[in-house]
Structure 1
Amino acid sequence: MSPASLSRFQKRRRIALAILVAVLFIALLFVESAGSGRFHEYVEALGISLIFIAILGRTWCTLYIGGRKAAEIVDTGPYSVTRNPLYVFSAIGAAGVGAMVGSITVAVGFAVLTWAAFHYVTLVEEDYLKKNFGQPYLDYLARVPRFFPNFGLFREADMLTVKPRNLYRTFADGLLFLLAYPFFEVIEYLQNSGLLPVVLRLY
Structure 2
Amino acid sequence: MKRAFALTAALLGAAPLTASDRPAFQTAVLAGGCFWGMEAVFEHVKGVREVVSGYAGGSARDARYDRVSSERTGHAEAIRISYDPGQINYDRLLQIYFSAAHDPTQLNRQGPDEGPSYRSAIFPQDPAQTRAAKAWIDRLTKAKAFPRPIVTRIESGSFYPAEAEHQDFMRRNPRHPYILAHDVPKLARLKKLFPAFYRK
Q: TM exceeds 0.5?
A: no
- Structure with the bigger percentage of helix: 1
Q: Which has the larger radius of gyration?
A: 1
State the TM-score, normalizing by the size of structure 2. 0.33
Going by fraction, where is strand more abundant, 1 or 2?
2
- Using the size of structure 1 for normalisation, the TM-score is 0.33
